[in-house]
């Protein structure tokens, strides 16, 4: 029995388990967003199946590139699993408000970059951004964007240099600072259940975004100022102070301009 046949047997067993367990979707809707990456794809399908078995109702969304890459195969592999349905794009905001959470089992660098800069130029990125606005748990699988992930190495991404890899990891830290959970794809369902089990912490701020956090001072020699530093500075209302030996990453500078954070030099 080869690997493909084994996967087919596993899928059939899971379908029967879902049917025997009821799989009523009574735990609520979970919006599942596929974007145009490929690493961790098989595990992503397993996670959607796991959502069904655990009582959720997955509503599938595909970015344009994801639909071209593997839209029909995804539906084929989920055929027979109850409660799996397409997301209603015509009433997306209402559907988002009714959903328990949003998960991204396959995350592309393009979508990660858009979310880190709060850009929403398509349905997929719009859902992710508004999930944050609505305080919904947003769980992202990192495998499609992590330069060190084995799936990307196999696909000849081992030539990703340290600057490019650092830029990608910086974007991952930015979305974490927004409140996203960034996990391995195999932990997606577990992370979702953990997020739903805990109420989100709300920090009150005034109209300028100033909270009760202590001021941030960025005066260490040789420090690289990242987008995460800019976000912390915005939360406190402090400018980003650069020493002459410090550098600020392009993403951090762009984010500072978008957020109105002043970048000053101590020189």
Average pLDDT for consecutive 10-residue bins of the chain (267 residues)? 59 56 78 93 93 92 95 92 92 95 96 95 96 95 81 57 85 91 92 80 38 41 70 75 77 80 74
Residues of the chain within CATH 3.40.50.1950 domain(s) are 22-197
**Hey, what are 148's tokens?**
């060190």
**Hey, what are 188's tokens?**
């997606």
How high is the pLDDT of residue 212? Answer: 39
How high is the pLDDT of residue 5? Answer: 58
Homologous superfamily (CATH) of 22-197 is Flavin prenyltransferase-like (3.40.50.1950)
Residue 22 φ/ψ region, left for φ over 0, alpha for ψ in the -120 to 50 degree band, beta for the rest: left
Of 262, 212, 253, which Cα lies nearest the Cα of 234?
262
How high is the pLDDT of residue 3? Answer: 59
* Mean pLDDT for all residues in the chain: 80
């Amino acid at each position: 029995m080869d690997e493909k046949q084994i996967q087919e047997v596993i899928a059939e067993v899971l379908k029967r388990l879902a049917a025997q367990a009821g799989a009523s979707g009574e735990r609520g809707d979970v919006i599942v967003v596929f974007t145009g990456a490929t690493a961790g794809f098989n595990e992503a399908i397993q996670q959607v199946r796991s959502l069904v078995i655990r009582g959720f109702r997955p509503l599938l969304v595909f970015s344009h590139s994801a639909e071209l890459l593997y839209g029909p195969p995804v539906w084929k592999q989920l055929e027979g699993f109850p409660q799996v349905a397409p997301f209603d794009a015509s009433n997306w905001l209402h559907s988002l408000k009714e959903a328990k959470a949003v998960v991204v089992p396959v995350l592309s660098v393009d979508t990660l970059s858009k979310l880190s800069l709060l850009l929403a130029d398509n349905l997929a990125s719009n859902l992710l951004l508004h999930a944050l606005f609505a305080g919904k748990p947003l769980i992202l699988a990192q495998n499609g964007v992590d330069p060190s992930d084995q799936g990307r190495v196999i696909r000849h991404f081992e030539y990703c240099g340290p600057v490019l890899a650092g830029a990608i990891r910086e974007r991952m830290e930015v979305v974490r600072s927004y409140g996203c959970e960034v996990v391995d794809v195999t932990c997606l369902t577990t992370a979702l259940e953990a997020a739903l089990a805990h109420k989100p912490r709300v920090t009150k701020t005034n109209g300028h975004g100033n909270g009760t956090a202590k001021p941030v001072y960025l005066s260490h020699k040789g420090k690289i100022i990242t987008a995460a530093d800019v976000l912390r500075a915005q939360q406190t209302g402090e400018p980003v102070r650069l020493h002459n030996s410090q550098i600020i990453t392009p993403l951090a500078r762009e984010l500072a301009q978008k957020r109105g954070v002043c970048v000053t030099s101590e020189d």
